[in-house]
Each structure stands twice: as structure tokens, then as C-alpha cells.
């Protein structure tokens, strides 16, 4: 029976989440993950066991890392130290000349922390929404009408809660924007929403249609850095992908019994993608989109076969409750009921490749990249031209992965390149600190050697059809990747999210958002604070600066929080000059190699924002806030265009604060007045057309 109070039907208001994230976000984004037990109950050490072999290896790795540093490719990278095969992301391929190696040269007055219901940018800049939830994507889409939503309309309109954003210039003043739609927040989308059990079937279908992704054509406004949605003409590339779009499963696990269902006895086709969070692009111009908290969409895991429950549980799926909760999409599509279709959940949690330039193409779930709560996948090239994809598994105490293709990328050979992500080696990271454990005391105080740092190794899990994990076949390793990684002693991290390689220095940067569950006994040099509220950033320098290496050096250039908090660290930069930062989530680089960081769940009491920090030179660690997003929103994207005149951000879940509803919206962004908040992609630019940040 429906609860009379819509608010009270949602367990969200008691969320134990310790960041600034609202209870609504916890409920709809990740199914209250923080309220549940940690899924990783493996006894992996919080650093892989510091066994003798690792200790002896450390000296070798350290020497290798120092070699890389001496070559100017590492933490203190020198201008011009471009890796042999620097990342040719589509956006980065179109022109551009010299750079500063992430050395800074950024000149703008940092935006102060605030609680304003607008995008706040530095003096001299302005911003505008580019495309909003409900805006027509397909030419025959109706105009958005909050009060009269339909699933049919939503499937043609811009979806909800935009996350990953990437931009493909098309020459002239046009370009394509790809945007992930991570999740629906029915409590803000519908008046009087009373929870999944009481939702109308049309509301459920609208929710499914609000997921997925969008391709939209955009155009430059005059000669400025502003871009706007193209609203006329054929818009031949525009596309909506939803939770029902037919997709293929390819790679070594495709066709495995664990992927077969009544609707798909071949285990090779699946409808839709779910909870697509961050992502990346490939050198051949496609999008890689990560299915993250897919577990929350499935109900009645209690009715799944006993033999499969351990794996379901390892992915955060409830296998005990006999009372379905959450959105209840099973009410309109029974495949979400695991008691009837226990393998359906195995068909989510993949990296999905989408060709934004072919609206008729079938998106592909690449099983060779493993099944996780994929934050995203970002690519680079190894020295020999093989494709490397870095990936985080965004849950507390989960792991960091990379995939190295078997074959090399061949520029222009599209048919070949599109097979590269189907065969290769999947690795998981094990990190070791180089300071005595006693010096990592949980206060954030740097150890005697002055750095949280050490060495690491990429442990192979599977190569093509050959498993490296005892007791598991190659397909099982790919479908139950978390279980496989548990067995090889991977290092438990503080929510590893977006990870990207610096196209200038070759360093790899990983956002570790937070982990309120880490206990004092569980701190290690790579995750040095217990009850980690504010998160940190990890820098990886691959041996020989080669992305295909199996050894690396690492350090923490950024330990987040209020700079007045003694436990924070900004790469040794003067802390009186930096901006407070909390919960780093997405990372991106501009053409100069500066690190851009967006945040999710500011635990310092102000709105989330976008920050930029040089990673080399005298200004390494000089972190400044470039913009803040409206009340209740998280900053996603971000994307600095190659001409560095525009920065796109996804403003996800504006107004998603405790107690908010359509009757009492907490935000009116972007339309103002008394309007309902609409998740939207925005662009910021300098009013005189100057380079962003300069
Ligand atoms: Fe969807 Fe990990 O943030
Ligand atoms: Ca150290
Ligand atoms: Ca994210
Ligand atoms: Ca990114």
C-alpha cells in the first residue's frame, strides 16, 4: 500500500552518508550504497600484503620511477616531455601547438565557496546552459512540459542527470556533444511521487527513458566561447540512447551462460544501459561510457539461484530482502526481477562503446574491459601503439583497473581499430607504500620522506580467453571481475572514480572521492586518512612512462579538504593561496596539461565546483576553484575544448537536497523564477574570448 507521505516512503532521509551529498542523491544515484554494508568483504590487505617479493621489487620500481622523473615525464614533469604516443582523443587531435606541461600560467581570481543558486564563474567570465533536461533532441520531439511528461516524449528529449560530457568538433562552428544520463530522480521529476511501489507505470517508463545518453548538435554563438543547441534543420546525428536501446555484448565473455536470459538465449544482445556515469573517448572517435551503480535497479535477488548469490552480493545486489524496493522498474519490465531472470544483472556494469557519428549504430558492451561499478574508461596509447584504458570501480574499498589491447591502433583503419577493445589484458592495481607503516598515523601528517608515495604493479587478471585467476575461467573473470580481483590481492581504495592520463606529461591521475568507512586500522600510505570525508587525488607514473607497463610509481599530490585543516596537502604549495576542495570525482586535462577536477558531495558546506591545478612546475599544487554549480548540484563533465575558449560542465541534480520536491523546489536553475530545476550541460567562457584560465 502506498505510504500517504511521498517523503516518508523514501528511506533516504536517514541516509548515513557523511559527505555533503543529499539523501535524495544517495537514494536515486546509488541506491543508498553507503547505508549498506561494504560489498568488498575480501580479506585483501588495505595495501596488498607487503610480502617480501613486493619489498624487494620496490627498490627496482623506485629506481624505474626516478628514471622516469629524470626523463622529465613524471611528477615534476618538464615542459615538452610528451610521451611517445600521447593521447590522441578526438578533441585533442584538432590542431594545437606548444604547451606548458601543466606548469600553470593560469591567471584568474578563484571563485569563493558559496551556496548560490547559479553558476558562479571568475570575474571576466560568464556561463549559460547549453542543453537542458527535456529539450528536444530528435527533430520530432515535443517541447518539454514538466506537468505533462510522457515516456514517448522523454525518449526523444534530453535525458535526466547529465554526467560525462565530451565534444567532437565538426569543423566550422558546429560540433557534437555526447552526454551520459546517469540516473532519474523521480522525487524531483514528478509531483507527488510516492516511491516505486506507488509510481504510475508511465512514471516508471519515463524513468527508464530518462537514462542512457544523448548526442546533440551544437553551434558556436557568434565568435564567442559560448555554444548553444542547434534547434533547426535535420540534425542528422542527434540521438537518444535509453534503458531500452538494443545493444551488443562482444569480447571474450559474450555468449557465456551467465549472460543468457529468456529474452536473449545467445547472451549477446541486451536492452539499454544503466547509471552511466563518467566516460572517455577512443582515438577512433567513439565514446566509452561506464555503467556504474547498476545494482540498484534489480529486485528480488533473494529468489536467485543460491549458487549465484555470492556474486550478486559482491556487486551490491540485495540477496536477502523479499520486499522489493527502489524504483521498481520490474513492474513494467520483468527482466529487473532477479527471481525470474537472475542473469539480467550480469548484462549491466560494462563499458559501452557508442559511435556518435552513426545514429543507426548499435552500442557495444565491451566485456574485455570487465564488469564493475564502472565510473568510466579513458584511453591513451602505449609506446608501441596499443590502446590502454584506465578505469575506476566507484565504491568504497574497490579497485583500480586498466586494459591493454593485444593489437595496435592504426590511424585511419577504422574496421581494425573497432576490434581493439575486444581482445587484450585486464589488470588490477596493487599499491605499496615506501614509508614505514608507523609513519602513516591517520592524521594526514606526511611521513618522514615528505610524501605519501610508493610503487605499484598491475596484476593481470585475464588475457583474451586465458584466465590468470585460479579457479575462474576467462569469462568468469570478466563477468565477476570484483571476485577475481579479490583473489589476486588488489589494493582497496577510497572510491576510485575518474582516472585520466595527462596528455602532456603522461602522468595518470585518479580521483578518490571519499570513504567514510575506512577505519584507523585500515589506513595505508595510498589511503592515509580514516573516515576520509574529503578524498584525495592519486598520481601514477608508469614505468618508462609507458602506459602498457606493469609497474608504476605513485604519489598523492592532493589530499583534499579545507587548507586550514592540517590533514590536507596541496603538493607542497602555499596553502594560504589555494581553494578548499572536497570529494574530487571527475578529472580532465586542458591542452596545456593542467588538471581540472570536479567535485561531488562537498562536505565543507558549500556548493560543488570545478577546480584547476597545475601538476608541474612552480605552481604544482596551486589549486583554484574556477566555478561553482547551483544548490544541490554536482559538477560533472568537465571538458575544456581544444581551443581552450570554452569549458563544458554537466550540472547534475540541481535542487537535489533533503526535503526538496516539485512542490518545494530547492533550486530554480537554469530557468529561474519559480521554475523546476533541470539538470543541464552548461558552458563557461571568457567574455573577451580569452583562453580559459588565462
Ligand atoms: Fe556516478 Fe562515481 O559517480
Ligand atoms: Ca612515502
Ligand atoms: Ca562521478
Ligand atoms: Ca574525465
Average of per-residue pLDDT values in the chain: 90
Q: How remote is the CA of residue 365 from the centroid of ligand 3, in Å?
A: 20
- Using pLDDT thresholds of 50, 70 and 90, give the confidence band for residue 30: confident
**Helix, strand or coil, per DSSP, at residue 212:** strand
Which range among 20-29, 244-253, 646-655 shows the weakest confidence by mean pLDDT?
20-29
For residue 62 the three cell numbers come to 623506485
Is the separation of the CB atoms in 350 and 371 below 8 Å? yes
Atom of ligand 1 nearest to the CA of 275: 1
With a cut of 80, say whether residue 461 has pLDDT above it: yes
* Beta strands, E only, 79-147: 125-132
- Upstream peptide bond of 670 is cis (omega within 30 degrees of 0): yes
For residue 360, count other CB atoms closer than 10 A to its CB: 6
Q: How remote is the CA of residue 394 from the centroid of ligand 1, in Å?
A: 6
Distance CA 215, CA 217 (A): 7
Q: How remote is the CA of residue 504 from the centroid of ligand 2, in Å?
A: 25
Atom of ligand 1 nearest to the CA of 497: 2
With a cut of 70, say whether residue 103 has pLDDT above it: no
Atom of ligand 1 nearest to the CA of 293: 1
Q: What is the pLDDT of residue 80?
A: 27
- Using pLDDT thresholds of 50, 70 and 90, give the confidence band for residue 84: very low
Q: How remote is the CA of residue 98 from the centroid of ligand 4, in Å?
A: 22
Q: What is the pLDDT of residue 66?
A: 26
Atom of ligand 1 nearest to the CA of 163: 1
Q: How remote is the CA of residue 634 from the centroid of ligand 4, in Å?
A: 14
Among all ligands shown, which has an atom nearest to the Cα of 373? Answer: 1
With a cut of 50, say whether residue 15 has pLDDT above it: no
Q: What is each CA distance from 319 to 36, 486, 555, in whole angstroms?
A: 12, 20, 38
What are 266-312's pLDDT values in tens digits?
999 999 999 999 999 999 999 999 999 999 999 999 999 999 999 99
∠ CA 120-692-615 to the nearest 5 degrees? Answer: 100
Q: For strand 246-250 and strand 364-366, is the pairing parallel, antiparallel, or unpaired?
A: parallel
- Which DSSP symbol is given to 499? E
Among all ligands shown, which has an atom nearest to the Cα of 585? Answer: 3
- Using pLDDT thresholds of 50, 70 and 90, give the confidence band for residue 24: confident
Which range among 45-59, 369-383, 489-503, 584-598 shows the weakest confidence by mean pLDDT?
45-59
Atom of ligand 1 nearest to the CA of 375: 2
Is the separation of the CB atoms in 522 and 46 below 8 Å? yes
Distance CA 61, CA 43 (A): 26
Give nearest CA residue, ligand 1 atom 1.
277
For residue 215 the three cell numbers come to 548526442
What are 194-209's pLDDT values in tens digits?
999 999 999 999 999 9
- Ligand 1 binding residues, C-beta < 6 A: 182, 277, 292, 375, 394, 497, 585
- Which DSSP symbol is given to 515? B
- Using pLDDT thresholds of 50, 70 and 90, give the confidence band for residue 29: confident
Atom of ligand 1 nearest to the CA of 394: 2
* Beta strands, E only, 527-567: 536-542, 551-559
- Which DSSP symbol is given to 561? B
Atom of ligand 1 nearest to the CA of 600: 3
Chain-centre distance for alpha carbon 566: 29
Q: How remote is the CA of residue 497 from the centroid of ligand 4, in Å?
A: 9
Query: Ligand 3 (ion): which residues have CB within 5 A?
Result: 277, 585
Q: What is the pLDDT of residue 42?
A: 87
Q: What is the pLDDT of residue 47?
A: 63
What are 140-153's pLDDT values in tens digits?
999 999 999 999 99
Atom of ligand 1 nearest to the CA of 498: 2
* φ/ψ (deg, to 5) at 27: -65, -50
Which is more confidently placed, 299 or 83?
Answer: 299
The string over 60-98, giving b where at least 16 C-beta atoms fall within 10 Å of a residue's C-beta and e elsewhere, is ebeebbebbbeebbbbbbbbebbbebbbbbbbbeeeeee
Which range among 129-138, 168-177, 410-419 shows the weakest confidence by mean pLDDT?
168-177
Mean pLDDT of 446-468: 98
DSSP per residue, 311-338: HHHHTT---S-SS--TT-GGGT-GGGBT
CB-based burial of residue 260 (10 Å sphere; 0-12 exposed, 13-18 middle, 19+ buried)?
middle
Is the separation of the CB atoms in 666 and 631 below 8 Å? yes
Mean pLDDT of 411-418: 97
Q: How remote is the CA of residue 351 from the centroid of ligand 3, in Å?
A: 14
* φ/ψ (deg, to 5) at 83: -60, 155
Q: How remote is the CA of residue 586 from the centroid of ligand 4, in Å?
A: 5
Closest by alpha carbon to 451, among 577, 541, 522?
Answer: 541
Which range among 8-12, 123-127, 164-168, 321-325 shows the weakest confidence by mean pLDDT?
8-12
For residue 580 the three cell numbers come to 578548499
Torsion angle of C-alpha atoms 276, 278, 280, 286, degrees rounded to 10? 20
Atom of ligand 1 nearest to the CA of 30: 1
Mean pLDDT of 548-559: 98
Block residue for cell numbers 575480501: 42
Q: How remote is the CA of residue 437 from the centroid of ligand 1, in Å?
A: 31
Rg, Å, the chain Cα set: 23
Distance CA 77, CA 672 (A): 45
Query: Ligand 2 (ion): which residues have CB within 5 A?
Result: 434-435, 447, 449, 451, 453
Is the separation of the CB atoms in 626 and 611 below 8 Å? yes
Which range among 61-70, 243-252, 672-681 shows the weakest confidence by mean pLDDT?
61-70
Distance CA 129, CA 247 (A): 31
Q: What is the pLDDT of residue 693?
A: 87
What are 354-372's pLDDT values in tens digits?
999 999 999 999 999 999 9
Q: How remote is the CA of residue 252 from the centroid of ligand 2, in Å?
A: 39
Among all ligands shown, which has an atom nearest to the Cα of 584? Answer: 3
Is the separation of the CB atoms in 218 and 131 below 8 Å? yes
Closest by alpha carbon to 652, among 10, 16, 19, 29?
Answer: 29
Atom of ligand 1 nearest to the CA of 513: 2
Those residues with Cβ within 8 angstroms of residue 397's Cβ, 6 or more apart along the chain or in another chain = 38, 40, 492, 493, 494, 515, 517, 518
- Using pLDDT thresholds of 50, 70 and 90, give the confidence band for residue 11: very low
Atom of ligand 1 nearest to the CA of 373: 2
Those residues with Cβ within 8 angstroms of residue 347's Cβ, 6 or more apart along the chain or in another chain = 249, 259, 261, 264, 270, 365
**Helix, strand or coil, per DSSP, at residue 161:** coil
Is the separation of the CB atoms in 609 and 584 below 8 Å? no
Distance CA 177, CA 648 (A): 10
Q: How remote is the CA of residue 278 from the centroid of ligand 4, in Å?
A: 7
For residue 219 the three cell numbers come to 553551434
For residue 134 the three cell numbers come to 527535456
Q: What is each CA distance from 626 to 103, 537, 619, in whole angstroms?
A: 17, 18, 16
Among all ligands shown, which has an atom nearest to the Cα of 524? Answer: 2
Span between the terminal Cα atoms of the chain, in Å: 58
Is the separation of the CB atoms in 329 and 208 below 8 Å? yes
For residue 172, count other CB atoms closer than 10 A to its CB: 8
Q: How remote is the CA of residue 112 from the centroid of ligand 1, in Å?
A: 25
DSSP per residue, 348-376: SS-EEEE-TT-TTPPPEEEGGG--S-B--
Block residue for cell numbers 615525464: 73
Q: How remote is the CA of residue 556 from the centroid of ligand 2, in Å?
A: 10
Q: How remote is the CA of residue 527 from the centroid of ligand 2, in Å?
A: 12
Q: How remote is the CA of residue 473 from the centroid of ligand 3, in Å?
A: 31
Amino acid at each position: 500500500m502506498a505510504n500517504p507521505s511521498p517523503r516518508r516512503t523514501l528511506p533516504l532521509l536517514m541516509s548515513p552518508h557523511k559527505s555533503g551529498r543529499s539523501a535524495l542523491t544517495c537514494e536515486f544515484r546509488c541506491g543508498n550504497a553507503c547505508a549498506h554494508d561494504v560489498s568488498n568483504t575480501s580479506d585483501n590487505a588495505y595495501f596488498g600484503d607487503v610480502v617480501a617479493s613486493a619489498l624487494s621489487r620496490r627498490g627496482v620500481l623506485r629506481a624505474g620511477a626516478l628514471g622516469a622523473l629524470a626523463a622529465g615525464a613524471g611528477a615534476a614533469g618538464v615542459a615538452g616531455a610528451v610521451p611517445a604516443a600521447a593521447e590522441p582523443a578526438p578533441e585533442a587531435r584538432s590542431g594545437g601547438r606548444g604547451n606548458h606541461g601543466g606548469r600553470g600560467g593560469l591567471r584568474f581570481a578563484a571563485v569563493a565557496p558559496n551556496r548560490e543558486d547559479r553558476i558562479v564563474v571568475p570575474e571576466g567570465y560568464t556561463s549559460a546552459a547549453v542543453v537542458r533536461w527535456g529539450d528536444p533532441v530528435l527533430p520530432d520531439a515535443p517541447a518539454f512540459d514538466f506537468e505533462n511528461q510522457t515516456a514517448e516524449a522523454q525518449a526523444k528529449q534530453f535525458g535526466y542527470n547529465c554526467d560525462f560530457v565530451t565534444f567532437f568538433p565538426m569543423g566550422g562552428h558546429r560540433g557534437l556533444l555526447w552526454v551520459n544520463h546517469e540516473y532519474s530522480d523521480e522525487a524531483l521529476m514528478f509531483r507527488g511521487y510516492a516511491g516505486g511501489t506507488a509510481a504510475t507505470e508511465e512514471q516508471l517508463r519515463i524513468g527508464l527513458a530518462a537514462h542512457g545518453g544523448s548526442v546533440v548538435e551544437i553551434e558556436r554563438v557568434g565568435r564567442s566561447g559560448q555554444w548553444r543547441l542547434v534547434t533547426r534543420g535535420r540534425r542528422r546525428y542527434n540521438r537518444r540512447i535509453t534503458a531500452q536501446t538494443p545493444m551488443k555484448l562482444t569480447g571474450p565473455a559474450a555468449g557465456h551462460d551467465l549472460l543468457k536470459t529468456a529474452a536473449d538465449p545467445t547472451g549477446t544482445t541486451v536492452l539499454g544501459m544503466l547509471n552511466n556515469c563518467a566516460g572517455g573517448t577512443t582515438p577512433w572517435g567513439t565514446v566509452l561510457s561506464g555503467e556504474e551503480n547498476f545494482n540498484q535497479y534489480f529486485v528480488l535477488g533473494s529468489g536467485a539461484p543460491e549458487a549465484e548469490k555470492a556474486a550478486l552480493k559482491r556487486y551490491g545486489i540485495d540477496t536477502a530482502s523479499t520486499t522489493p524496493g527502489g524504483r521498481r522498474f520490474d513492474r513494467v519490465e520483468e527482466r529487473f526481477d532477479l527471481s525470474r531472470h537472475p542473469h539480467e544483472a550480469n548484462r549491466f556494469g560494462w563499458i559501452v562503446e557508442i559511435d556518435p557519428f552513426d545514429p543507426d549504430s548499435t552500442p557495444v558492451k565491451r566485456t574485455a574491459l570487465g564488469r564493475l561499478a564502472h565510473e568510466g574508461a579513458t584511453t591513451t596509447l602505449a609506446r608501441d601503439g596499443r590502446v590502454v584504458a584506465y578505469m575506476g570501480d566507484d565504491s568504497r574499498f574497490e579497485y583500480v583497473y586498466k586494459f591493454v589491447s593485444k593489437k595496435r591502433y592504426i590511424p585511419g583503419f577504422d574496421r581494425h581499430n573497432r576490434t581493439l577493445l575486444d581482445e587484450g589484458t585486464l589488470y588490477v592495481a596493487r599499491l605499496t607504500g615506501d614509508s614505514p607503516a608507523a609513519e602513516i598515523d591517520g592524521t594526514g601528517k606526511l611521513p618522514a620522506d615528505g610524501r605519501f608515495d610508493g610503487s605499484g604493479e598491475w596484476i593481470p587478471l585475464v588475457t583474451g580467453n586465458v584466465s590468470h585467476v585460479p579457479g575462474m575461467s576467462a569469462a568468469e573473470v570478466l563477468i565477476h571481475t570484483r571476485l577475481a580481483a579479490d583473489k589476486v590481492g588488489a589494493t582497496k581504495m577510497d572510491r576510485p572514480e575518474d582516472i585520466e592520463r595527462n596528455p602532456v606529461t603522461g602522468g595518470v591521475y585518479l580521483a578518490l572521492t571519499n570513504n567514510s568507512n575506512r577505519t584507523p586500522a585500515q589506513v595505508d600510505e595510498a589511503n592515509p586518512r580514516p573516515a576520509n570525508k574529503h578524498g584525495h587525488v592519486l598520481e601514477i607514473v608508469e614505468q618508462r612512462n609507458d602506459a602498457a607497463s606493469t609497474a608504476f610509481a605513485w604519489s598523492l599530490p592532493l589530499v583534499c579538504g579545507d587548507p586550514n585543516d592540517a590533514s590536507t596537502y596541496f603538493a607542497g604549495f602555499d596553502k594560504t593561496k589555494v581553494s578548499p576542495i572536497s570529494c574530487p570525482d571527475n578529472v580532465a586535462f586542458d591542452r596545456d596539461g593542467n588538471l581540472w577536477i570536479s567535485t561531488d558531495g562537498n562536505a565543507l558546506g558549500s556548493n560543488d565546483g570545478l577546480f584547476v591545478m597545475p601538476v608541474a612546475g612552480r605552481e604544482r599544487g596551486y589549486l583554484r576553484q574556477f566555478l561553482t554549480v547551483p544548490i544541490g548540484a554536482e559538477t560533472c563533465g568537465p571538458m575544456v575544448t581544444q581551443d581552450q575558449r570554452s569549458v563544458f560542465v554537466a550540472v547534475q541534480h540541481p535542487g537535489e537536497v533533503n526535503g526538496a520536491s516539485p512542490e518545494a523546489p530547492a533550486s530554480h536553475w537554469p530557468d529561474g523564477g519559480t521554475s523546476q530545476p533541470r539538470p543541464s550541460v552548461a558552458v563557461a567562457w571568457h567574455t573577451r574570448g580569452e583562453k580559459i584560465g588565462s
